[in-house]
Structure 1
Amino acid sequence: MADHDLLVRLLQLLTVESDRFAERFGERHRMHRTDLNALLHIMEARWSEQPMTPGRLAEVMRLSASATTSVLDRLESSGHVHRVRSASDRRRVDLAVDQRALELGREFFLPLNEAFTRAWAGFDEAERAVVARFLRASIEATTEVRDGLDEDHG
């Protein structure tokens, strides 16, 4: 198998395994995959210090306003997220992650973090830098193709 084909296949397998992991995690915590994805988007916004609003969440998840409201209602009633008025613009509602969601996030990511740390122990700093560059380029390529699908069918 050519190097290019092997890399594509390995990325596909990683994606499938990541999806399977997320599905099992969601099942264990009785969370629909859409709710888990929404929570991860809200947490990522928190980590990157970008405010997340219901409208922005609807946009990144490609959900209608009513579907987004339903997801947020479920996340709020389960104690993972709450809606707060923005300190800078009282008309805007921001989504805040609750401590319970942070604990869930740790439970979700910690075992993977530990397994990745063990798996990557044999790679030196320069190799990890190449892998990081490869993954960033792969994410950008995936985003480019995904956005192209939106334009073709939008």
Structure 2
Amino acid sequence: MTASSNREIVRDRFQRMLPRLLLLYADVAKSAGIPEVALQALHVLTLHDGAMYPAELSAQTGLPRSTVTRVLDTLEEAGFVERVRTPDDGRRFAVHVRSDRVAPISARFDLYADAMTETTLGFTEAELSVIARYWEELNRAVDSRQPSPSPSP
């Protein structure tokens, strides 16, 4: 296979996986009773180590701060997160994920996590290093093309 055809295969396989992921997100969001954008924000929150500030969530998702506020309202009302005022500045608050409430949602994505784990067993550490570098570079390239979040009105 040529490098050109390998590039086409990688792109094609990603394009084939994407709709499946989007449909899973839609189904999980619906069963959780929250909008898809709220589920996506919740996903970002769960990937963050510890509490996260709304401005960080806005920066990582590209959502305007006003949208982040509405999404956090939705997630808090559904019991998935709680906002806690910071002791050093009573105007700021940190967002904490309620792991116990998010666990059933996370479990819905286990089929992908399990498939990824199983698939990696067929690759050497050197091959996995290349794959990891590819995903890191892809994330960086996408991030560099994302527009900055719009300022809140």
CA RMSD of aligned residues (A): 2.6
Letter in 2 for 1:18: L
User: Could you tell me which of 27, 37, 41 is aligned with 2:40?
Assistant: 37
Deviation at 1:64, TM superposition (A): 4.4
User: Structure 2 CA distance, aligned partners of 1:128 and 1:86?
Assistant: 40
Alignment of 1:4-153 (within 5 A): 4-45=7-48, 47=49, 49=50, 51-61=51-61, 62-65=63-66, 67-146=67-146, 150=147
Write 1 or 2 for the structure with the bigger share of helix: 1
Q: Is residue 81–residue 98 contact of structure 2 (8 Å, CA) maintained in 1? A: yes
SS at match of 2:33: coil
User: Structure 2 CA distance, aligned partners of 1:105 and 1:88?
Assistant: 33
Identical pairs, percent: 23
User: Structure 2 CA distance, aligned partners of 1:63 and 1:104?
Assistant: 28
The normalised TM-score by structure 1 is 0.78
What residue ranges of structure 2 are gaps of 5+ in the alignment?
Answer: none
Q: Deviations over 1:121-150 (max 9, x none)?
A: 21122221111111111111222233xxx2
Q: Is residue 57–residue 68 contact of structure 2 (8 Å, CA) maintained in 1? A: yes
Q: Is residue 79–residue 100 contact of structure 1 (8 Å, CA) maintained in 2? A: no
Deviation at 1:41, TM superposition (A): 1.8
SS at match of 1:91: strand
Question: Is the alpha carbon distance of 1:100 and 1:77 closer, same or farther for their aligned partners in structure 2, counting shifts above 3 Å?
Answer: farther
SS at match of 1:128: helix
SS at match of 1:31: coil
SS at match of 2:38: helix
Letter in 2 for 1:6: I
User: Structure 2 CA distance, aligned partners of 1:55 and 1:92?
Assistant: 10
Q: Is residue 38–residue 71 contact of structure 1 (8 Å, CA) maintained in 2? A: yes
Question: Is the alpha carbon distance of 1:115 and 1:7 closer, same or farther for their aligned partners in structure 2, counting shifts above 3 Å?
Answer: closer
Letter in 2 for 1:63: P
Q: Deviations over 1:65-87 (max 9, x none)?
A: 2x333222221111101110124
SS at match of 1:143: helix
